[in-house]
Amino acid sequence: MLNIGVLGLQGAVREHVRSIEASGANAIVIKRVEQLEEIQGLIMPGGESTTMRRLIDRYGFMEPLRQFAEAGKPIFGTCAGLILLAKHVVGYEEPHLGVMDVTVERNSFGRQKESFEADLSIAHVGEGFNAVFIRAPHIVEAGEDVEILAKHNERIVLARHGQFLGCSFHPELTDDHRLTAFFVEMVKESMEKTIA
């Protein structure tokens, strides 16, 4: 069975586990670097990117996560997780992992919109996806190999760059598991490629 990890240092971990299991894969909460060997794909959850980065450094995850990405394994960054994946973060000189060819801006929906929900139409996934945004970032620029999968008010809120999937919102907070299932399919495809 497919093992999908959820980086369990901070943030919305349990909800992702539930969503992965509902999508027919096995979920493993990743708290130690060695556990990365057990999984074929990884979700980096929402939370607070600065806090998560501190914990990534404290527990020695930075290099192993980069190697995981270099090995071609899929990573899905949601909200703070997207910020961690991005090659550029507006206002910062250095990215975190810096593997997904997008520029993101943090907390970019304004204070009056601390959190809100929106119905999205998602390419390859479907219509009427109820997305929950919490102090969300958005993608201000996407590289040429990046496929834009959803927009909200003209802003890119979901995109795929090869093995990387990143979204502004929290797909794990509702009972609609279609986006997690889409990621599980990405992981399956990447494994078929490795075997072939």
Per CB under 6 A, 134 contacts ligand GLN: yes
Which of these ranges, 43-51, 69-77, 144-152, 158-166, lies near ligand GLN under the rule CB under 6 A? 43-51
Judge whether 172 counts as a catalytic residue.
Answer: yes
Catalytic residue among 16, 79, 88, 105: 79
Judge whether 167 counts as a catalytic residue.
Answer: no
CB 154 within 8 A of CB 194: no
Q: How far is the CB of 102 from ligand GLN (least distance, A)?
A: 15
Residues 135-154 that bind ligand GLN (CB under 6 A): 135
**In this structure, what token pair is assigned to residue 136?**
């969300």
**In this structure, what token pair is assigned to residue 125?**
């996934």
Residues 105-124 that bind ligand GLN (CB under 6 A): 106-107
Q: What is the C-alpha to C-alpha distance for residues 191 and 187, in angstroms, rounded to an integer?
A: 6
Strands 126-134 and 115-122: antiparallel
What is the distance between the terminal CA atoms of the chain, rounded to a whole angstrom? 18
Per CB under 6 A, 48 contacts ligand GLN: yes
Per CB under 6 A, 83 contacts ligand GLN: yes
Per CB under 6 A, 47 contacts ligand GLN: yes
Per CB under 6 A, 188 contacts ligand GLN: no
Q: How far is the CB of 13 from ligand GLN (least distance, A)?
A: 12
Query: Which positions touch ligand GLN (CB under 6 A)?
Result: 46-49, 79-80, 83, 106-107, 134-135
Report the catalytic residues: 79, 170, 172
